[in-house]
Amino acid sequence: EVLLVESGGDLVQPGGSLRLSCAASGFTFRTYEMNWVRQAPGKGLEWLSYISGSGTTIFYADSVKGRFTISRDNAENSLYLQMHSLRVEDTAVYYCARGLQGLIFDHWGQGTRVTVSS
Amino acid sequence: EIVLTQSPGTLSLSPGERATLSCWASQGVRGSQLAWYQQKPGQAPRLLIYGASSRATGIPDRFSGSGSGTDFTLTISRLEPEDFAVYYCQQYGSSPLVTFGGGTTVEIK
């Protein structure tokens, strides 16, 4: 069974930093592209970032480019999202999602909540 | 930049009825690279359809997708109680790389 478990969400002040993690199991992690997607309270879905299986190809949404960094550790079956310069509008549930053909999200974690507030 | 508009915003139907959800793209979606997701309250989204019309693994055949270019449709042939949820369309591969529609809520009438 494919399992994705996010962690690291927290309450952080504007301008602060946070690192999210996603532990993967039930599939050969290194062979799959991975993504981060978020959902602000009561809002729709917003894709944030993509990383290839090897980690050599990375894309970001304009809204987080230069502030967020995606990475992965295939030896640890883990995906990460380092977030800097957090803003109130970054408040959301953050999901990691496995990529089917890259940018189709066929499995999702349960999400981790990030709240940016003073 | 492709913008996806979903219609209607809310669909009120009874179990057993047919649901037709629309997703319009502001520009043509390359290669019918469009997916549909279902999301229930407090849960992560679930992939239903990709490539405009291919059902994801384990998705019942009452769910079907169609369309190309700028007009796409998700049809639920006979609503089951568990189908009442929010549905999102998503394009992938164009500019920007990924865009989601605003969602359609299918609620019990």
The predicted-structure confidence for A78-117, as pLDDT tens digits, reads as follows 999 999 999 999 999 999 999 998 899 999 999 999 999 9
Tokens of A20: 């999210």
Main-chain phi, psi angles of A88, to 5 degrees: -55, -35
Q: What's the order of all strands across the beta sheet hosting B19-25?
A: B4-7, B19-25, B71-76, B63-68
Tell me what the mean pLDDT of segment B81-92 comes to. 97
Would an 8 Å CB–CB cutoff place B1 in contact with chain A?
Answer: no
Query: Which chain A residue shows the shortest CA-CA distance from B59?
Result: A106
Provide the pairing of β-strand A68-73 with B4-7: unpaired
Q: Judging by beta carbons within 10 Å of its beta carbon (0-12, 13-18, 19+), is residue B20 exposed, middle or buried? A: middle
Q: Would you state the pLDDT for residue B31?
A: 87
Distance from CA of A95 to the nearest CA of B (A): 8
Cβ atoms A105, A99 nearer than 8 A = yes
Would an 8 Å CB–CB cutoff place B37 in contact with chain A?
Answer: yes
Would an 8 Å CB–CB cutoff place B35 in contact with chain A?
Answer: yes
Q: What is the pLDDT of chain A when averaged over all its residues? A: 97
